[in-house]
């Protein structure tokens, strides 16, 4: 069964550094999403992406965040200057129609 994959599984970075989180969507899916889950809290929407542009973004998704599909397969989330409060599990999700399928997540730790 096709799966969403994410790399790395765990990223440790220093505050102020840039990180790029990568996702490989299921091949025939056209809609892409990033969510995050701070430890012990609920899953929060960050951004959705369709047809090479952002469809919707949350208040969390400020100017330090960006998304792109650099090579038509990978879907990336870049955090330009990480903050301590960016420490969370970041999930990529993709969909063809209604249900979204989630990757295993990248645990980002900002020190």
Partner 1 sequence: AQSVAQPEDQVNVAEGNPLTVKCTYSVSGNPYLFWYVQYPNRGLQFLLKYITGDNLVKGSYGFEAEFNKSQTSFHLKKPSALVSDSALYFCAVRDIYTGTASKLTFGTGTRLQVTL
Q: Which residues bind partner 1 (CB under 8 A)?
A: 4, 31, 33, 35, 41-45, 48-50, 55-56, 58, 91, 93, 95, 97-105
Give the residue with the Cβ less far from partner 1, 48 or 82: 48
d(CA 11, CA 87): 10
- As measured in angstroms, the least distance from the Cβ of 97 to partner 1 is 6
33: β partners: 48, 93
Q: How far apart are CA 14 and CA 70, in angstroms?
A: 25
Nearer to partner 1 (CB atom), residue 74 or residue 102: 102
The least distance separating partner 1 from the CB of residue 82, rounded to whole angstroms, comes to 22
CB neighbour list of residue 88: distance below 8 Å, 6 or more residues apart: 36, 37, 38, 39, 107, 108
- Residue number, 15 or 38, with CB nearest to partner 1: 38
Q: In this structure, how many other beta carbons lie within 10 angstroms of the beta carbon of residue 97?
A: 8
- Output the smallest distance, CB 87 to partner 1, in A: 16
């Amino acid at each position: 069964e096709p799966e969403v994959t994410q790399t790395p599984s765990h990223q440790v970075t220093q505050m102020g550094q840039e990180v790029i989180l990568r996702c490989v969507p299921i091949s025939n899916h056209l809609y892409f999403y990033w969510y995050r889950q701070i430890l012990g809290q609920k899953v929060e929407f960050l951004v959705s992406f369709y047809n090479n542009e952002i469809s919707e973004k949350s208040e969390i998704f400020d100017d330090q965040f960006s998304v792109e599909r650099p090579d038509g397969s990978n879907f990336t989330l870049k955090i330009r200057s990480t903050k301590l409060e960016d420490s969370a599990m970041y999930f990529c999700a993709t969909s063809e129609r209604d249900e979204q399928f989630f990757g295993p997540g990248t645990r980002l730790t900002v020190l």
